[in-house]
A = this chain, B = another copy of it.
């Protein structure tokens, strides 16, 4: 009996889907189906009630699932402990990130990480904030990447970044001539914003209120991509975290303006369950993320948290912020090279934890 079948079963159950689970493990839907059927054959029981869609767990399935979930994570922990002796990094990291975490950033770190630790199965999913918290709650991911982290008692919060909030304006907008604005300039503008369900919207509302600025919210979206598209077609302007505008500024489809007299930031943080000790693979990923942020800060000549200290930079700072990522690549690449050398000294072929 393959332990992998048990893993697949658990994934099938948590995802309530064979195909989704199959995807996670990089196998065909057929394989996932067969894996579960094999378990059922071995136990001579039916674990899932397939007469419903989505399927339901049978009593046996419930017991099996509850038991095996723990078991598998225990097993992973043992394997991790063994690997630590040889300073090897293997295992699995599942990351649940909010949509608006700058993809290029995270993906760049991920690429570097995969190169540095090819034996780690790294999986990143971009989800709605509430789903990210769900995933963490259900122990279905090792790390969560969120903005405005809620300080729930059972999550460990690791601050990662403070993203400056800048003004996004469409090309051709009167503001385009300027490189920075005052908050009062925003008064009376047509705004594209986030839906009130999102924390960032509530923060922005609060900030504007504090500055006695009133805007007219013409459109609301629950994700940053739609906001940007709407700004691009001239529906209005918006307040957005600088890094989320990187691509649009580079391609010249949007203009970003710094606010001179506001120190508004979107805090980004890494979350993980307090109960579960992070395996070394995950620890390394966190370190790499933090390192990439420090490198960015260094390159742009300020600490990531400079704003909280009130230092105000002059000139086209918003622009500089958006170019931060340029510095990441060499740093990550170096880390990757070093680690690969280390591995090469000891071994040629390294079996992957989850694919063998």
A59: which of B83, B85, B351 is its contact (CB, 8 Å)? B85
> A67 touching B85 by the CB < 8 A rule?
no
User: Which residues from chain B contact A64 at a C-beta distance below 8 Å?
Assistant: 78-79, 82
Q: Could you tell me the distance between the alpha carbons of A210 and B107 in the complex, rounded to whole angstroms?
A: 86
Q: A3-B3, A42-B356, A63-B81 are in contact. Are A75 and B86 (CB under 8 A)?
A: no
> A81 touching B67 by the CB < 8 A rule?
yes
> B83 touching A43 by the CB < 8 A rule?
yes
Give the size category of A's interface with B.
Answer: 20 to 34
Contact with B along A54-98 (1 / 0, CB 8 A): 000001100110011001001101110111011010000000000
Name the prevailing secondary structure of the A interface residues: helix
A86: which of B2, B3, B4, B45 is its contact (CB, 8 Å)? B45
Q: A1-B2, A1-B4, A43-B83 are in contact. Are A78 and B63 (CB under 8 A)?
A: yes
Contacts A1-B3, A63-B78, A71-B78 aside, 18 further interface pairs with beta carbons under 8 A come to A1-B4, A1-B356, A42-B353, A43-B79, A43-B82, A44-B86, A44-B88, A44-B347, A44-B351, A45-B86, A60-B82, A60-B86, A63-B81, A63-B82, A67-B77, A67-B81, A68-B78, A74-B74
Contact with B along A226-255 (1 / 0, CB 8 A): 000000000000000000000000000000
Give A352's nearest chain B residue, CB to CB: B42
> A351 touching B42 by the CB < 8 A rule?
yes
CB contact list, A15-72 vs B, under 8 A: 41-45, 59-60, 63-64, 67-68, 71
Q: Could you tell me the distance between the alpha carbons of A44 and B86 in the complex, rounded to whole angstroms?
A: 9
Q: A63-B78, A71-B75, A74-B71 are in contact. Are A45 and B1 (CB under 8 A)?
A: no
Q: Could you tell me the distance between the alpha carbons of A42 and B68 in the complex, rounded to whole angstroms?
A: 21
8 shortest interchain CB distances as A-B pairs: A67-B78, A60-B82, A42-B351, A3-B3, A60-B85, A64-B82, A63-B81, A42-B356
Q: A71-B75, A75-B71 are in contact. Are A63 and B44 (CB under 8 A)?
A: no
User: Which residues from chain B contact A4 at a C-beta distance below 8 Å?
Assistant: 1
